[in-house]
Structure 1
Amino acid sequence: MNISLSKRAIGLGLGAMLTCQFAAAADGIGGAGSSAAAPVYRTWAQEYRKAGGEALEYDPVGSGAGLARIKQRQTDFGAVDVMVPRNELARDGLVMFPTAVSAIVPVVNLRKGGAPLKLSGEVLARIFLGEITAWNAPEIAALNPGLSLPNEPIRVVCRSDVSGTTHHFSDYLSKVSPAWKARFGVVGRPAWPAGFIAVKGSSEVSRAVRSTQGAIGYIDYGYVVEDALTPVQLAAANGRYVGASPASFRNAVVSSRWFTHGDFSDSLTQMPGEGAWPITMGTYAVVPKVAGEPERAARTLRFFLWAYDHGDALARQARFSPLPEKVQASAFRELSSVIGRNGEPIGLNALVR
């Protein structure tokens, strides 16, 4: 078969598949991992149930813990924000595919007047290096002429756990700050400076920022909207300032190999396109390549195929950017490789039914 099936063809197959199989599945679907992706899975779970699908129980334990659970076959799928190396996937008998495009957004709790706070990548890095410690520092004031900045200490909120969110944040900072790159590089948990407020998970970052005057943190865009957080504007790769939105995430995607080649292994940070949000990221699902329980595996794959088929509508509700069609085609190839213990083509059957 031609794996690069059109969206319309997939949709026709899914209609018949969902009609005959929803009623037959008695159990739900379990997933665990990325806390950044939790808003996406909450929206998908609600809409999938409305469409007659199984219930999804998603545990936002973080990308590292989610990957550990799927390696131990303790959940139906793991959700991670960082590509797992191919050799590691092969060693652990796993298949990985992208599910959505979102972004990391710096957020503040700051008494100020006027326009949104603007930060360059270099100034943002110096804040998270512990080098700029006051909100009325000259480096910040120079980027925000006319903005009334308080004479208050900066209270930095960071992640204490190994985090895909932190990985992408540090990937961006490594591209814009030689000092950050030399000290930390691209990591899921830096050795943060003393005095930072370190918390576990995106929901705790949101809570800490909201409850701490003078705070700055970094978090997935879904939480910015859900919790009414105050985002900053960032200088894009071309030097112009841009706000975080699904449109600016898509501008980043169309400038990348995700869009041109369907290659979802590349980073989406600091893309050169006009209006591209500089800390855009993909999020991924991981499932066993050989399913120990074929029906559970089939239920899980049906869920993701449904999400792909309804990508545009779901994007509007969950505030993320849908996957480009070339990336979906690459994802279909990965899904089609899932088999049962006796070699039955579980993934391929899900695609063509």
Structure 2
Amino acid sequence: MKFSKVGRVAVIAAVAALSLTSCAANESGASEGSSDSTLSGELVGIGASSQGSAQEAWIAGFQTAHQDVTVNYDPQGSGAGRESFISGAAAFAGSDSLLSDDELAGDFASCAPDTKAIDLPVYISPIAVIFNVDGVDELNVDSATLAKIFSGEITSWDDPALVALNPDASLPSAAITAVHRSDDSGTTKNFADYLNKTAPDAWAEEPSDTFPFQSGEGAQGTSGVVSAVSNGSNTIGYADASKAGDLSTAKIKVGEEFVGYTAEAAAAVVEESPMAEGREANDIAIQLDRMTTDPSHYPLVLVSYAIACQEYADAEDAELVKEYLTYIASEEGQTVAVDAAGAAPLSSELSAKVATAIESIK
């Protein structure tokens, strides 16, 4: 195994903790058949739990083609992923949030001196509003009502605002348990960004990886939120749609209609959103347009990034990261994510930009 010199001890610890991940991927087929690949080594990524299902499938596919490579991805959350990457404890990060200006202004332990990291969109997914309410199978919400539920202003399921949006539903006179992420989460930041942009009077707080209110119930990671909503009573939460499972999901108001999530509707928002300004040429940061009124769009969407060095201090890190990201951003890799996680594939235009950026990694 060869990693960047800085953070080597932390990486070794992470690999030990993650050994079951790589074993599971190998058992899924990576150790079978033959491969002409000469690539070898171990690669550690840490980050967004939203990418969890896709990463499992990507790892299995990549290790099938490169049988002397072990890839470990620990879905600790976007904040933890960026911190680990910055410190050199991971060769790449998965993050539902872009690198901030402050992060970009600092140093990256795994990167060559005087070089920076880049954001590469590799995973597009709707954020589902999941709920588990006695006697209710369908639920409509608008962004202002959703904001008031999660800020703690609306506390009962038979609140007049919810009744008005759901006149045919038998909403119980029961307390709402709103479940949010307790860890720093890019999913939280995207959820908050949607509410802040579309209902600023109800959600005035600036979007952040950290949930801004003391109300409701916190849970660790996407799996923690899903578990809390599933096992609780009269609960509501938000999670990457790939993890919604059998839970009921609310429709959100877009224009004059209530819209359920689909991968296609989420991708439509990304396709029409501009690039963020002031970034490096190969830093493909997207400024999502939440304000659409087109009911064929689903603006409660996240773009999850692979964060990598533009130039690595260690040539073996660079080779492994470049090959792995090339695979996950390829047409084959994106199809794998669609099949495994219900993700929306990158458009041909965005895919070409990402491929060019990955090719520039040294």
TM-score by length of 1: 0.81
How far apart are residue 217 of structure 1 and its match? 0.7
The CA deviation string for residues 39-81 of structure 1, in whole angstroms up to 9 with x for no partner, is: 2212212232344453321101111111111111111211111
Which of 48, 52, 62 is 1:38 aligned to? 52
Q: Is the 8 A contact 1:40 1:222 kept in 2?
A: no
1:70: which partner in 2? 85
1:326–1:272 Cα change, 3 Å:
farther
Distance 2:265 2:290 in 1: 12
2:230: which partner in 1? 210
Q: Is the 8 A contact 2:328 2:334 kept in 1?
A: no
1:332: which partner in 2? 355
Residue identity over aligned pairs, in percent, reads 26
1:28–1:21 Cα change, 3 Å:
farther
1:316: which partner in 2? 339
Which of 200, 220, 240 is 2:240 aligned to? 220
Distance 2:268 2:286 in 1: 18
Which of 131, 136, 142 is 2:153 aligned to? 131
Distance 2:248 2:291 in 1: 22
1:148: which partner in 2? 170
Which amino acid in 2 is paired with 1:231?
A: T
Q: Is the 8 A contact 1:223 1:229 kept in 2?
A: no
Match status 1:248 vs 2:265: yes
1:60–1:138 Cα change, 3 Å:
same
1:293: which partner in 2? 314
Q: Is the 8 A contact 1:106 1:217 kept in 2?
A: yes
Q: When the two structures are aligned, how many residues end up with a matched partner?
A: 311
Distance 1:148 1:84 in 2: 44
Matches within 5 A, 1:1-353: 23-52=37-66, 54-85=69-100, 88-89=103-104, 91-92=106-107, 93-113=116-136, 116-182=138-204, 184-194=205-215, 196-225=216-245, 228-236=246-254, 238-257=255-274, 264-309=285-330, 310-314=332-336, 315-339=338-362
How far apart are residue 87 of structure 1 and its match? 7.0
Extract unaligned runs of 5+ from structure 2.
1-33, 108-115, 276-282
Q: Is the 8 A contact 2:259 2:295 kept in 1?
A: no
Runs of 4+ displaced beyond 6 Å: none
Distance 2:299 2:310 in 1: 33
Per the alignment, in what secondary structure is the counterpart of residue 257 of structure 1? coil
2:17: which partner in 1? none
How far apart are residue 27 of structure 1 and its match? 2.2
Distance 1:23 1:263 in 2: 29
Q: Is the 8 A contact 2:329 2:355 kept in 1?
A: no
Per the alignment, in what secondary structure is the counterpart of residue 202 of structure 2? helix
Which amino acid in 2 is paired with 1:233?
A: K
Q: Is the 8 A contact 1:235 1:241 kept in 2?
A: yes
How far apart are residue 101 of structure 1 and its match? 0.7
Q: Is the 8 A contact 1:264 1:327 kept in 2?
A: no
Superposition RMSD on alpha carbons, in Å?
A: 2.3
Distance 1:284 1:136 in 2: 39
Distance 2:58 2:348 in 1: 19
Which amino acid in 1 is paired with 2:272?
A: S
1:271–1:39 Cα change, 3 Å:
farther
Extract unaligned runs of 5+ from structure 1.
1-19, 340-353
The CA deviation string for residues 240-272 of structure 1, in whole angstroms up to 9 with x for no partner, is: 1111121221222233236xxx96421243434
1:316–1:257 Cα change, 3 Å:
farther
How far apart are residue 123 of structure 1 and its match? 0.7
Q: Is the 8 A contact 1:255 1:273 kept in 2?
A: no
The CA deviation string for residues 115-168 of structure 1, in whole angstroms up to 9 with x for no partner, is: 521111111011112111111111111111211112211001111222111111
Per the alignment, in what secondary structure is the counterpart of residue 79 of structure 2? helix
How far apart are residue 293 of structure 1 and its match? 2.5
Which amino acid in 1 is paired with 2:297?
A: A
How far apart are residue 312 of structure 1 and its match? 4.8
